[in-house]
Chains A and B, each alone.
Chain A
Amino acid sequence: EVQVVESGGGLVKPGGSLRLSCAASGFPFRDYSMNWVRQTPGKGLEWVSSISSFSTLVNYADSVRGRFTISRDNAKNSLYLQMDSLTAEDTAVYYCARESGMEYFDLWGRGTLVTVSS
């Protein structure tokens, strides 16, 4: 089955860190750029970060640049998001999303919830 599955979410205090993982299966992971997209509870979607198939190109939303780091391990079919200096505004469901090759997201995971609270 073609799928991506996120993990690593949880409750963290302001200023803390968390590392999210996304395990891909059923498709040639190394052929696709991957992304993280988040959704604040009850609110809209926000693109967070993208990484090209061989990690040569990465970018971040202004809201997370300098605090979050995206990475991938093609040998393990895995995508990661290291989140540091977390604030309450980072509280959201974080989705792993595959970029189709034509600048749209054609495969989404079910998401993992990150809650930043003291």
Chain B
Amino acid sequence: QSALTQPRSVSGSPGQSVTISCTGTSSDVGGYKFVSWYQQHPGKVPKLVIFDVNKRPSGVPDRFSGSKSGNTASLTISRLQAEDEADYYCSSYAGSYTYVFGSGTMVNVL
């Protein structure tokens, strides 16, 4: 049950795109389509932004998109806005009613 690997931080200017990677193993990210992403602003509760690798919940802007290739999932934020500055965590189902989260990535909007 090792945490999924994410970059510590990524940065971009308003209007640009940033991509966050999330690397696991064939026992989690690579083995299931159940990858989700959560946005967390300081002092706030995590908020779901992507589920099932690439689906957006109602109310999440289409600037947020997800993908997966092998054991690595990715979250892309297009047309970056100041309000996107937050921590982002990936999560994957890992079988047998267990889950694993990523180490978290801080998105900085320059």
Known: A102-B34, A104-B34. A57 touches B97 (CB 8 A): yes
Question: Once the chains bind, are B3 and A44 in contact (CB under 8 Å)?
Answer: yes
Contact with B along A3-17 (1 / 0, CB 8 A): 000000000000000
Question: Once the chains bind, are B100 and A103 in contact (CB under 8 Å)?
Answer: no
Count of A-B residue pairs with CB < 8 Å:
67
* Assembly CA distance A37 to B48 (angstroms): 14
Q: Chain A contact residues: over half helix, strand or loop, or mixed?
A: loop
Which parts of A76-118 form the interface with B (CB within 8 Å)?
95, 100, 102-106, 108-111
- Closest Cβ of chain B to A87, distance in Å, is 17
Minimum CB distance partner of B36 in chain A: A104
- Closest Cβ of chain A to B37, distance in Å, is 9
CB contacts (< 8 Å) of A52 on chain B: these are: 97
Known: A61-B1, A62-B1, A111-B45. A104 touches B51 (CB 8 A): yes
Question: Once the chains bind, are A50 and B104 in contact (CB under 8 Å)?
Answer: no
Count of chain B residues with a beta carbon within 8 Å of a chain A beta carbon: 25
Contact of B34 among A47, A62, A63, A103 (CB under 8 A): A103
- Closest Cβ of chain B to A100, distance in Å, is 7
CB contacts (< 8 Å) of B48 on chain A: these are: 104-106
Task: Sort chain A's interface into a size bin.
Answer: 20 to 34
CB contacts (< 8 Å) of A33 on chain B: these are: 97
Question: Once the chains bind, are B45 and A44 in contact (CB under 8 Å)?
Answer: no
Known: A104-B52, A105-B48. A35 touches B99 (CB 8 A): yes
B contact set with A: CB distance below 8 Å: 1, 3, 32, 34, 36, 38, 45-48, 51-52, 57, 89, 91, 93, 96-104
A contact set with B: CB distance below 8 Å: 33, 35, 37, 43-47, 50, 52, 57-59, 61-63, 95, 100, 102-106, 108-111
Of all A-B residue pairs in the complex, the 7 with the closest CB atoms, nearest first, are A103-B34, A104-B36, A103-B93, A44-B104, A59-B97, A47-B99, A104-B51
